[in-house]
Amino acid sequence: MDQVATLGVTRPRARSPRASFWAKFTAQPATVIALVFLAVLILAAIAAPLIASLVGHGPNDLYRTQMLDGFGLPRGPNGSFWFGADSAGRDVFIRVIYGARVSLVVGVVATGIAVVIGVTLGLIAGYRGGIVDTLLSRFADVMLAMPLLLFAIGISTACSTTSAGCLRGTLTPGLNLVIVIIAVFTWPAMFRIVRATTLSLRETDFVEASRAIGQTEFSIMRSEVLPNLISPIVVYSALLVPQSILFEAYLTFLGLGIPDSTPSWGGMLDQASQLFSVAWWLMVFPGLFLLATVLAFNLIGDGLRDALDPKTPRRTTRKRAA
Amino acid sequence: MSQTPPTTDEILRLDHLTKHFPVGRGLLFSRQRDIVHAVEDVTLGVTKGTTLGIVGESGSGKTTTARMITRLIEPTSGTIAFDGLDISNIDGARLRALRRRIQIVFQDPSGSLNPRRTAGQIVAQPLRVHDIPGDHSQRVAELMARVGLSPEHITRYPHEFSGGQRQRIGIARALALDPELIILDEPVSALDVSVQAHILNLLDDLQRERHLTYVVISHDLGVIRHISDQIAVMYLGRIVEMGAASGLVDHPMHPYSAALVSATPSHPGRRQSQRIVLGGEIPSPITPPSGCAFHPRCPKARLISGDHHAAPETCRLHTPPLTPASDGRMVACWYPVEADDNLIDAAHAMTANPG
């Protein structure tokens, strides 16, 4: 034992990394509120059909006589239509709930694909280095240099002209197309982060030590380097989700994303723009939900970054040596 | 010791080992490359169960030599023989098998332990990688106990340990596969002086108990002298002097060794005025000086030439070979240090009148 070094120094009771993570993660009230909001939103999205049947309004049911006035304009919020109706007489509340499904699915799935591609390629590029790194990095640079929105509009227009889609039917208009477009354009950001971190991890002594032990390169990548990438991956994923959600909303707003029969926040905002002067609720409710969801994911991303960064001081009281 | 034939109990032999690193300027377009002469023509042997200490400043090539022995980097030329077998070019399953016999302990105990793994997982890693049969947790507990850690440490993470404890974990990991040769790359230089002694004693005990062979790399001659049987002094990629530890420290024959010895604080009877203060820095290994690499800083060369500013032509033009001297010593110097040489004043005159 290094008696001299440890004598008289009572270290704070060692906490498991998980417990310490939760303590730091939940220390910020904003993070907790964001977490609760997202939990409720996800539950509501999952239970959307149930909510619809409880309220008694389907997402595409038309309530022309009830909710449209003599001029054919929609009526605002009331006791049974909490968020009012849209120009076709559909219940905005129910459509907002259903829209959450689209946003969450797009956000999570597109980010998931981008993460898988970005992490895999980033790990290979960073760890292998040399020509592999040069090629992959230049490719990622090219992707990042593409005018994202223009390109996305081009692809979705090309693939949406007929319902058969493009690339012999592999990309059909709608949800899948939106997800693919978003994933294709967001992975390079993840790639760069993973590559840069891997590059520095590759030079660490513990990787060298694993090599000296005789561990294979693949096994070192998977079980020594990857676990040390978890923090940046998790944090950046949480920040990619809202970006993807917003991007889906842009595309749908431009009429290139999700077809009108599937309620989505972007689509609802698009319709609202024509009637905003007489029907504020068309824009306010989907807009608020979009804002809150994006904000919640961003707050969680920040919270994760603080919690996973060992340099953030613990907010709980530190026990001092007596 | 290129002249002496390898004895049967020699476990490691380096023959004309050389490592040049190309350093590129520009990634794709520039063809122009500089060469770092990290290790130049190193020949030495290590006897089973003994400790060879390699001492030198940073940039002397000692760490590169260590990493070549563990095959973490490939030699440019020359051979490494381990237990009579040339290991300089083996790969695949044979390299993997070799990994079980040669282990390395790193300088920075916090950097060499994966922060996401517990101490127990780190020590068990070699057993897992090599699919060693048997109860790993039992073996880990034994190893941890042997290096002076307690059972409750097994589930802790590296950041929860002190520097000395971390180095113990690194040593336990190196011991896990029962290696024959352990390379210790600055094993204690990141630790407090008080902790250093504990670790050095532990290494000493382990060596006797398991008949281990050590190659210890350090810039600290005090540490090297404490644990080594043989010492090799490296300067700018070359061995300048090599021999039995006590003899070399008591009577260094190379002017550079003499300067190193005089600068070691623990050397008995030394006063500040007795220190040989070398002028300047170790030169760049990209453009090593001609002839003897030490000649630009060498006080002895000035005594020979009688001029503060210039070394003799021999030193400037011809690289001295490592040749046997008295009592098994090897020295690479045209004018080895003699008892009545006043190197202190010669060095002082050099730094006082910079050319």
**Out of A11, A212, A215, closest to residue B160 by CB:** A11
Residue B288, amino acid: P
Residue A148, amino acid: L
Q: How far is B124 from chain A (nearest CA, A)?
A: 11
Residue A184 has pLDDT above 70, yes or no: yes
Chain B CA closest to residue A308 = B116
Q: What CATH number matches the domain at A34-69+80-311, 1.10.150.240, 3.40.1010.10, 1.10.645.10, 1.10.3720.10? A: 1.10.3720.10
For chain B positions 173-232, those within 8 Å of chain A (CB to CB) are: 173, 177, 192, 194-195, 198
d(CA A320, CA A299): 32
Cβ atoms of A105 and A113 closer than 8 Å? no
**Out of A4, A208, A213, closest to residue B129 by CB:** A213
Q: Kindly list the residues from chain B whose CB atom is less than 8 angstroms away from the CB atom of residue A212.
A: 70, 72, 99, 102-104
d(CA A283, CA B304): 93
User: Position of tokens 């038309």?
Assistant: A62
Partners of B181 in beta bridges? B102, B213
Residue A250 has pLDDT above 90, yes or no: no
- The verdict on B101 touching A (C-beta cutoff 8 Å) is no
Tell me the CA distances in angstroms from A36 to A101, A106, A108, one per residue in order: 17, 20, 18
Over chain A, what is the mean pLDDT? 83
Q: Kindly list the residues from chain B whose CB atom is less than 8 angstroms away from the CB atom of residue A206.
A: 111-114
Q: What does the domain layout of chain A look like in residue ranges?
A: 34-69+80-311
Q: What is the pLDDT of residue A272?
A: 85
Q: What is the pLDDT of residue B240?
A: 94
User: Is A17 in contact with B156 (Cβ distance < 8 A)?
Assistant: no
Q: How far is A281 from chain B (nearest CA, A)?
A: 50
Q: What is the pLDDT of residues A37-76, one digit of tens each?
A: 999 999 999 998 998 888 888 888 888 887 888 787 888 8
HSE (side-chain half, CA atoms, 13 Å) at A278: 13
User: Is A209 in contact with B72 (Cβ distance < 8 A)?
Assistant: no
Residue A118 has pLDDT above 90, yes or no: yes
Q: How far is A111 from chain B (nearest CA, A)?
A: 25
CB atoms within 10 A of CB B272: 6
Q: State which residues of chain B have pLDDT below 70.
A: 1-8, 24-32, 266-273, 353-355
ipTM of the complex: 0.81
Angle between helices A175-202 and A230-253 (to 10 degrees): 150
Q: How far is B16 from chain A (nearest CA, A)?
A: 23
Partners of B54 in beta bridges? B217, B232
Q: How far is B25 from chain A (nearest CA, A)?
A: 14
Q: What is the pLDDT of residue B111?
A: 86
Residue B204, φ and ψ in degrees, nearest 5: -60, -50
**Out of A4, A6, A214, closest to residue B96 by CB:** A214
- The verdict on A79 touching B (C-beta cutoff 8 Å) is no
User: Is A310 in contact with B156 (Cβ distance < 8 A)?
Assistant: no
Listed in sequence order, the residues at least 6 apart from B199 whose beta carbon sits closer than 8 Å to its beta carbon are B164, B167, B168, B171, B187, B188, B191
Chain A CA closest to residue B196 = A2
Nearest-Å Rg of the Cα atoms of chain A is 25
**Out of B114, B126, B159, closest to residue A224 by CB:** B114
Cβ atoms of A143 and A190 closer than 8 Å? no
HSE (side-chain half, CA atoms, 13 Å) at A54: 8
What does the DSSP assignment read for A302-314?
HHHHHHH-TTSPP
User: Is A206 in contact with B100 (Cβ distance < 8 A)?
Assistant: no
**Out of A5, A17, A134, closest to residue B162 by CB:** A5
Q: How far is B85 from chain A (nearest CA, A)?
A: 18
**Count of CB contacts below 8 A, A vs B?**
84
SS (H, E, C) chain B: CCCCCCCCCEEEEEEEEEEEEEEECCCCCCCCEEEEEEEEEEEEEEECCCEEEEECCCCCCHHHHHHHHCCCCCCCEEEEEECCEECCCCCHHHHHHHHCCEEEECCCCCCCCCCCCCHHHHHHHHHHHCCCCCCHHHHHHHHHHHCCCCHHHHHCCHHHCCHHHHHHHHHHHHHCCCCCEEEEECCCCCCCHHHHHHHHHHHHHHHHHHCCEEEEEECCHHHHHHHCCEEEEEECCEEEEEEEHHHHHHCCCCHHHHHHHHCCCCCCCCCHHHCCCCCCCCCCCCCCCCCCCCHHHCHHHHHHHCCCCCCCHHHHHCCCCCEECHHHCEECCCCCCCCCCCHHHHHHHHHHCCC
- The verdict on B164 touching A (C-beta cutoff 8 Å) is yes
Strand order of the β-sheet with B77-82 is: B33-47, B10-24, B77-82, B85-86
* Angle at CA of residue B274, ends B257 and B238, nearest 5°: 10
Comparison of pLDDT for B29 and A25, the residue scoring more: A25
* Angle at CA of residue B56, ends A5 and A211, nearest 5°: 70
Chain B CA closest to residue A5 = B195
Residue A256 has pLDDT above 80, yes or no: no
Burial of B209 (0-12, 13-18, 19+ CB in 10 A): exposed
Best residue in B114, B136, B154, B182 to probe A by mutation, most A CBs within 10 Å?
B114
